[in-house]
């Protein structure tokens, strides 16, 4: 994919990710922002994002991947992928933006802000800092299926994932191990 093609794909993907992390925050949160976060063991995103380091200094170009990049994952890696993805979904389902955005690697999150078509970082920081009033008509996000889990040459894991709430998403999610936790490091959009 060319640089222009990647920018266009990222521009199309940004609204999806922002919707996934902010609009789909399910009804477990009250207007005061209290939520059951026990199932989300990730530390929340702190403000200012990236400790005030410019996003351009953090964003890293990720290699172009296809659905069949890398090699088939072992049964242990598949279980790790499944467990890690469930943790990430649990963090989204807390309904708290600081936990919902904690599911991404710093490099991937920073990449949202580096192009002219990218997200506006101060707006996202305001969203993270505000008390969440949920849309109680939305269903919690659930994992419907995980297929074709693969180990990439750089040690990351990718898998074709179907997630569902009031909408269904089919994407390849690339997870990268940061410390002891696997976080989303790239998304290859499949279909809606």
* CATH assignment at residue 179: 3.10.450.540
What is the chain's Cα-based Rg?
Answer: 16
60 assigned to some structural domain: no
| Better-predicted residue by pLDDT, 166 or 118 | 166
47 assigned to some structural domain: no
Q: Say what the pLDDT of residue 57 is.
A: 79
Averaged pLDDT for residues 135-157:
90
- Per-residue pLDDT for 150 more than 70? yes
Count of domains in the chain? 1
Domain extent, residue 9, equals 3-30+69-191
Please list, in sequence order, all residues whose beta carbon lies within 8 angstroms of the beta carbon of residue 42, skipping any fewer than 6 positions away: 87, 91, 99, 102, 103, 181, 183
131 assigned to some structural domain: yes
Averaged pLDDT for residues 21-42:
52
| Better-predicted residue by pLDDT, 136 or 154 | 154
- Per-residue pLDDT for 58 more than 70? yes
44 assigned to some structural domain: no
61 assigned to some structural domain: no
What's the CA gap between 93 and 33, in Å, rounded? Answer: 13
Q: Say what the pLDDT of residue 43 is.
A: 92
50 assigned to some structural domain: no
59 assigned to some structural domain: no
* Residue 120: C-alpha distances to residues 12, 29, 113 (Å): 15, 25, 6
């Amino acid at each position: 994919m060319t640089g222009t093609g990647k920018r266009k794909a990222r521009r199309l993907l940004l609204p999806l990710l922002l919707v996934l992390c902010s609009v789909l925050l399910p009804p477990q949160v009250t207007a005061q922002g209290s939520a059951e976060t026990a199932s989300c063991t990730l530390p929340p995103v702190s403000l200012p994002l990236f400790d005030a380091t410019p996003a351009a200094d953090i964003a890293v170009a990720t290699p172009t991947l296809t659905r069949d990049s890398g090699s088939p994952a072992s049964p242990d890696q598949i279980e790790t992928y499944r467990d890690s993805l469930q943790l990430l979904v649990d963090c989204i389902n807390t309904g708290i933006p600081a936990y919902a955005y904690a599911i991404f690697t710093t490099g991937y999150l920073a990449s949202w802000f580096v192009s002219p078509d990218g997200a506006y970082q101060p707006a996202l920081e305001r969203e993270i800092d505000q008390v969440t009033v949920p849309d109680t008509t939305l269903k919690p996000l659930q994992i419907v299926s995980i297929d074709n889990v693969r180990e990439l040459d750089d040690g990351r894991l990718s898998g074709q994932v179907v997630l569902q709430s009031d909408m269904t998403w089919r994407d390849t999610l690339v997870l990268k191990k940061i410390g002891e936790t696997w976080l989303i490091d790239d998304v290859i959009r499949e279909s809606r």
